[in-house]
Amino acid sequence: MKTYELLAIFKPNLDAEEAEKMISKISDNIVEFGGKVESTDKIGRKKLAYEVQNFRDGFFTSMVMELPADKVAEFKRQLRLNDNILRTMFLEVSKKASV
């Protein structure tokens, strides 16, 4: 399994409890696909550089996870289908070279 990092921006009209539910739902999806969540960082509410879907700010969350490579496309599709997520950035974390 490869290691990935997900940065998700949720709609700002969610309260803290709803945002927590969304994060746990994403974590459950990762486990469902045979992966595991290594860390979750709730960055908080931040101002966006430009307006996205008529919102000027969003609730930022960063997750580091391990996920099978064949499940990445389906996981990304489920993120896109979620109406409460404004934007996502999904990156593969590279291993640092040892000197």
**Residue 98 banded pLDDT, cuts 50, 70, 90:** low
In a domain, 58, yes or no: yes
- Measured CA to CA, the distance from residue 64 to residue 84 in angstroms comes to 20
Q: DSSP secondary structure string, 20-47?
A: HHHHHHHHHHHHHTT-EEEEEEEEEEEE
| Between 16 and 28, the higher pLDDT residue | 28
In a domain, 40, yes or no: yes
Predicted confidence (pLDDT) per residue in 38-95, tens digit: 999 999 899 999 999 999 999 999 999 999 989 999 999 999 999 999 999 999 988 7
In a domain, 84, yes or no: yes
In a domain, 99, yes or no: no
In a domain, 98, yes or no: no
Q: Residue 19 has which token pair?
A: 């945002």
Contacts of 68 (CB under 8 A, 6+ apart): 1, 33, 34, 35
Structural element, H or E, at residue 80:
helix 72-81
Residue 99 has pLDDT above 90, yes or no: no
In a domain, 25, yes or no: yes
Query: What's the CATH number where 9 sits?
Result: 3.30.70.60
pLDDT value of residue 5: 94
In a domain, 97, yes or no: no
Q: Domain count for the chain, please give it.
A: 1
pLDDT value of residue 70: 92
**Residue 97 banded pLDDT, cuts 50, 70, 90:** low
- What is the span of the domain harbouring residue 19? 2-92
Q: DSSP secondary structure string, 49-68?
A: EEEETTEEEEEEEEEEEEE-
In a domain, 48, yes or no: yes
